């Protein structure tokens, strides 16, 4: 991954984290698709009925806060780009 791509990814993730923290009332869910070669991995980040975030990835569901969600997205994005 080149430096410019990393900076764009970092800016995108900072924006996502800000929306998760500041606009909690408007956030319902978002889907992500990570691709490595021809294989696709889907993740869903959603707000549950107790107003906490839940991450669903590869069949597992776990509670997560906005900072952890951004860290997860950053790691998975970099790993998938590196594998390409």
Q: What is the pLDDT of residue 83?
A: 42
What band does 1 get if pLDDT is binned at 50, 70 and 90? low
Answer yes or no: are the C-beta atoms of 69 and 45 closer than 8 Å. Answer: yes
pLDDT in tens, 21-77: 888 777 788 888 888 788 888 999 988 888 889 999 999 999 998 889 888 888 887
> Closest Cα partner for 62 from 81, 43, 77?
43
Whole-number Å distance between alpha carbons of 32 and 41: 8
Dist. CA 82–CA 23, nearest whole Å: 32
State the pLDDT at residue 56: 93
Query: In this model, does residue 80 exceed pLDDT 60?
Result: no
Residue 64, CB half-sphere, CA atoms under 13 Å: how many? Answer: 22
């Amino acid at each position: 991954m080149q430096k410019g791509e990393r900076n764009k990814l970092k800016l995108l993730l900072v924006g996502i984290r800000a929306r998760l923290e500041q606009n909690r009332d408007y956030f319902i869910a978002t889907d992500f698709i990570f691709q490595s070669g021809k294989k696709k991995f889907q993740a869903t980040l959603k707000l549950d009925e107790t107003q906490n975030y839940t991450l669903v990835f590869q069949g597992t569901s776990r509670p997560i806060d906005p900072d952890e969600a951004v860290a997860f997205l950053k790691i998975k994005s970099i790993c998938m780009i590196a594998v390409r």
